[in-house]
Amino acid sequence: MIRLRFFPLCAALALCAGAARADTYGFVDGDRVSVIISDTPPADSRYLLFKKNPPVAFTAVEPGPYSGHIVAAARETSIDPALIHAVITVESGYNPSARSSAGAVGLMQLMPETAKRYGVKNRLDPGQNIQGGARYLRDLKIMFGDNLQLVLAAYNAGEQAVVKHGMRIPPYAETVAYVPKVLQLYRNYRPAD
């Protein structure tokens, strides 16, 4: 068993990449995570299974100040942290102060109505913004039956636009470019199977 305590999740997984094929367990403590790589579940009940049989290599964005928020949001919503990373990368380039001309704000570029729907009081607060964005992704996954292309199209253009266009990616240039860009990053950030 390899025990790594209080490393950002991406750094911990990258450091453990050479470990034998074992399961990855972790728990969040504020903005930090504790990770264990083991072939048996830890006795400490705070640890939850993060990844079964992790790969030899893990490709992810550079660890940063938002890793704890991403892991917490992923855990709450059951959204893959790699997907949250990909959305943040494309939406804001990890700029917590990002603002779009359409009125979207923050790391996950939440519109005012979306923020209100998910209880986000301060869209510039990274933790609130990531939680709100992850909850929206979760609901879109439920709405569109795990069709990730439609989930991402709806995240970018709104769920009404996807429905209006016959449950297809709306023919908006921004959305048509957005979906494959996020999907490619998501594939890059996920551990190899």
* Active-site amino acid positions: 91
Is the CB of residue 143 less than 8 Å from the CB of residue 130? no
DSSP state of 110: B
Q: How far apart are CA 96 and CA 75, in angstroms?
A: 21
- Residue 142 has a CB neighbour count (10 Å cut-off) of 10
Give the tokens for residue 156.
Answer: 């970018």
Closest CA to 183 of 76, 90, 74, 110: 90
Return d(Cα 76, Cα 129) in angstroms, integer. Answer: 14
| Burial class for 59, CB neighbours closer than 10 Å (0-12, 13-18, 19+) | middle
User: How many Å apart are CA 139 and CA 112, to the nearest integer?
Assistant: 17
